[in-house]
Amino acid sequence: MYFCAMYSSELIKGTLKTIILKLLKSNGKMYGYEITQRVKELTNNKIQITEGALYPTLHLLEKEGEVETETENIGKRVRKYYTITPKGKVTVNLKVNEFMDFMNTMKFLLDLELDVGHAAK
């Protein structure tokens, strides 16, 4: 069912809040389903946020005051828009910086070719 060039799921762990907040920061108000679609599209299906992960995270972010909601009626359907708060903007900057730093560290670790001489391919 999944046409996965997707990353193994452990990798993505810990990045969900960062991704959501970053999208909301640079993209303005979005609703849940839209977030999943946008991420999928921007990453060529490599990152697919499941709804079981998304909605609980959005609710948590709201409880923490990182995002705010407003509902909009589309026909008979209710759509819930999320907007990043000032607190959320602080958080997202911290998180993005931390992740960038982490990537540099990992790149350093994974690029190392040390002593041993045979430096196996």
Partner DNA sequence: TTTTATACCTAAGAGAATTATGTATTACGC
Partner DNA sequence: GCGTAATACATAATTCTCTTAGGTATAAAA
Residues in contact with DNA by the rule CB under 7 A = 9-10, 12-17, 31-34, 37, 49-53, 55-59, 74-80
Which of DNA, a copy of itself, none binds 3 (CB below 5-8 Å, type-dependent)? none
Distance (Å, whole) CA 49 – CA 22 = 14
Output the DSSP codes for 101-114: HHHHHHHHHHH---
Which residues share a beta bridge with 73?
A: 78
Distance (Å, whole) CA 47 – CA 32 = 15
Size of the site for a copy of itself (CB under 8 A): 43
CB 20 within 8 A of CB 64: no
Q: Of residues 4, 33, 37, 42, which one binds a copy of itself by CB under 8 A?
A: 42
Q: Which residues contact 2 (CB under 8 A, 6 or more apart)?
A: 48
In the complex, what is the shortest distance from the CB of residue 36 to a copy of itself, in angstroms, rounded to a whole number? 13
Q: Of residues 11, 33, 56, 64, which one binds a copy of itself by CB under 8 A?
A: 11
Residues forming the site for a copy of itself (CB under 8 A)? 7-15, 18-19, 22-23, 25-28, 39, 42-43, 46-47, 89, 96, 98-103, 105-110, 112-116, 119-120
